A and B are shown apart, each in its own frame.
Chain A
């Protein structure tokens, strides 16, 4: 406490506040301050570079997300635009055409019924009808054993098969298994 006797010497508020100007840190404090500040500035420069590269990396990463999102949105848009076609609109005309290969086969089958078709006489014709209607086909594997004998029926069967295969040169080109 200041001496009460020296009341006339007592300073003003301004004088007292100027005492604060006299408060000064030591030289050692400033040396440490300068050292720290230099480090911090260098670190901030490095961090700024990192921040810039981070930003571009962020943009790039988001770019991939945006690209993926755009693809999804585009796909969704296309789907929606397809499904949003009104159902009461006239159906698009469908032209059914047999494939060229099928046309060829059909033409060949048609030729069977024409005058060029191989003609089977009497009993042979009936035999063929029997064989076909008996359900024993080549797929069953029973036909060969059943027809494998030296019987007259067997020779007839081969004959029919030969006839059939001769008419289908352009079909499979192979001899039928029975």
Chain B
């Protein structure tokens, strides 16, 4: 898994350590009363937080609300951030907890909405498979694939889904996920293994 993240500009990949130092400076700046520094943090993490929440809920509107809620919570409790973990871990924890609470509250509500798929981000093998299709057929197939993926993810329990999203989609390491969830690395590995088996069963027609 990649251990670099994309900076706010979206162009320059920076290491976790560098990013952590920058975050710490920004956090201190916000604590000193510089609200604009929080804007920088929002700008830097909003897409990643949104992606986590969106992939956990499969609903764009809920994801937008929960992402905003996550940043507001972070802003209000920034004084309580001790710096023992990295800022992004702390922020992810807020987002994951808010989302899990939301999912618990809305257990029986199933309403999915999809984001537009940027075909540039699709894996080469899949892109190649898609390339064999005529242009009119491709969007239909992509929508179908998105739907199946969402269904497969939603068939997992929230805990298993969270691990899959953080590891496979967000590219966090087992240790980072363990830090975010407050679970042991062994638990994270075990959940991931179980979740992948479940997904393989659900997505069999699309797999090798």
Interface residues of A (CB under 8 A from B): 1-3, 6-26, 29-30, 33-34, 36-37, 40-41, 44, 48
Contacts and interface: CB of A to CB of B under 8 A. Distances in A.
Given A11-B206, A37-B42, A24 B132 contact: no
B21 to A, nearest CB: 25
Contact of A22 (B67, B121, B207): B121
A8 B207 contact: no
Contact of A19 (B47, B64, B72, B145): B145
A23 B125 contact: no
Given A22-B119, A23-B114, A25-B60, A11 B68 contact: no
Nearest to A25: B115
Given A15-B125, A23-B116, A24-B47, 10 more contacts: A6-B128, A10-B208, A12-B207, A17-B149, A17-B199, A19-B123, A21-B121, A23-B146, A36-B68, A37-B42
A16 B55 contact: no
Interface of B: 38, 42, 46-47, 50-51, 54-55, 60, 64, 67-68, 71-72, 75-76, 114-123, 125-126, 128-129, 132-133, 141, 144-146, 149, 164-165, 168-169, 196, 199-200, 203, 205-208
B195 to A, nearest CB: 9
Contacts of B164: 17
A15 B129 CA distance: 12
A23 B115 contact: yes
A117 B43 CA distance: 116
Contacts of B128: 6, 9
Given A11-B123, A33-B64, A16 B203 contact: yes
21 contacts: A1-B141, A2-B206, A3-B129, A3-B132, A6-B132, A9-B125, A10-B125, A11-B207, A11-B208, A16-B149, A16-B207, A19-B149, A21-B121, A25-B50, A33-B64, A36-B68, A40-B72, A41-B38, A41-B71, A44-B72, A44-B75
Which 10 A-B pairs give the minimum distances between C-beta atoms?
A: A22-B121, A23-B115, A17-B168, A15-B123, A10-B208, A9-B129, A22-B118, A11-B126, A37-B68, A11-B125
A6 B130 CA distance: 10
Contacts of A48: 76
Contact of B207 (A10, A26, A37): A10
Contacts of B51: 20-21, 23
A6 B141 CA distance: 14
Nearest to B69: A40
Contacts of A19: 117, 121-123, 126, 145-146, 149
